[in-house]
Amino acid sequence: MIYDIKTYGNSCLREKAERVEKIDVEVLQILDNMVETMQKIKGVGLAAPQVGINKRMFVIDVGDNKIRKVINPEILELSDEIEINEEGCLSIPGVFKSVKRASRVKIKYLNEKGEEIIEEAEEFLARAFQHEYDHLEGVLFVDRLSPVAKRMVSKKLQLLKKEVERG
């Protein structure tokens, strides 16, 4: 099943998502649907709040032949070293801006089998983990822009918001 993507202005993108208490059939089905949705629209990551599901889960496909299904992630370490690179978000179509992120991240999560995974990631994967994790906290990449860049995208964000309000 392909989900509709909730875009900027939807309140579901601003809530703190809830922990997954049990990896049951329903959770597995949601994860499968999220992967299907991400692949259909050629995204590299998709978090549950982006499809209106208030759970701490996301999926990532950065093209390393490994589709990650991430449940209840915790960021254990962020490097002091920073990298600046362009980001976009399926929930904010048409907006691409440079964002500062830690260049390396250590993250702990459960996979779809309920196994605890600890991963140390860098570069693009590190960025994807941080971006998707933010979604679970109700944070969007545009929140992390410099004041100047924020001003540059504010009009586009207003338009997206209006579309949501119109329904």
Which residues contribute to the site for Ni ion (CB under 5 A)? 89
Active site residue 123: no
- How many angstroms separate the CA atoms of 128 and 124, rounded? 6
Nearer to Ni ion, 72 or 130 (CB): 130
- In whole angstroms, how close is the CB of 13 to Ni ion at the nearest point? 9
Q: Least separation, in Å, of the C-beta of 131 and Ni ion? A: 6
DSSP state of 55: B
Comparing CB distances to Ni ion, the nearer of 58 and 109 is 58
AA letter at 8: Y
The minimum distance between CB 90 and Ni ion, in angstroms, equals 6
13 vs 35: CA distance, rounded Å: 19
Q: Which is nearer to Ni ion, 30 or 89 (CB)?
A: 89
User: CA-CA distances (angstroms) from residue 135 to 14, 56, 130, 148?
Assistant: 8, 9, 9, 23
Residue in 87, 132, 137, 163 annotated catalytic: 132
Q: Which residues are catalytic?
A: 132
